A = this chain, B = another copy of it.
Amino acid sequence: MAKNLEISILFDFYGDMLTDKQRNMVEYYYNDDLSLAEIAENEGITRQGVRDSIKRAESQLLDMEDRLGLARRFNEMKSGFESIRNAANNIREYNGRYGRSRDIEECAVRILDISRHLCEL
């Protein structure tokens, strides 16, 4: 069973919709990087049981993203913030070189602060 990187991202978004048991399995497998056999031993269930549980959780996460597309929307927003930060940094550079307006500098710093903050939401 190949670990699907996308699953970690979807788990951050939709993980709280899973059952406690599913959430634990996904965390052991994806975040703590345990093997199916290790999880099975720790939990006192079969390797196949662990596998089924993770597979079910994965389909639920993929299905939620398929329906809601919120991870995709968030990611687009994040890449937009990056472009905004680049533009704000360019403004600071141009302004520092030529105009040296304190107001412009302040607004550009404000834009940088807000987009940094929003990226962490």
Task: Please list the residues of chain A having a beta carbon within 8 angstroms of any beta carbon in chain B.
Answer: 13-14, 16-17, 64, 67-68, 70, 73-74, 76-77, 80, 83-84, 87-88, 90-91, 94-95, 98-99, 101, 103-104, 107-108, 110-111, 114-115, 117-118, 121
9 pairs of A and B residues whose beta carbons are closest in the complex: A99-B99, A16-B67, A87-B107, A80-B118, A94-B103, A91-B107, A87-B110, A90-B107, A87-B111
A77 contact from B67, B77, B98, Cβ within 8 A? B77
> Which of chain B's residues have a CB closer than 8 A to the CB of A114?
80, 83-84, 87
**Residue numbers in B under 8 Å from A16 (CB-CB):** 67-68
Q: Is the interface of A mostly helix, strand, loop or mixed?
A: helix
Indicate if the CB atoms of A76 and B17 lie closer than 8 Å: no
- The distance in angstroms between the C-alpha atoms of A69 and B94, with both chains bound, is 39
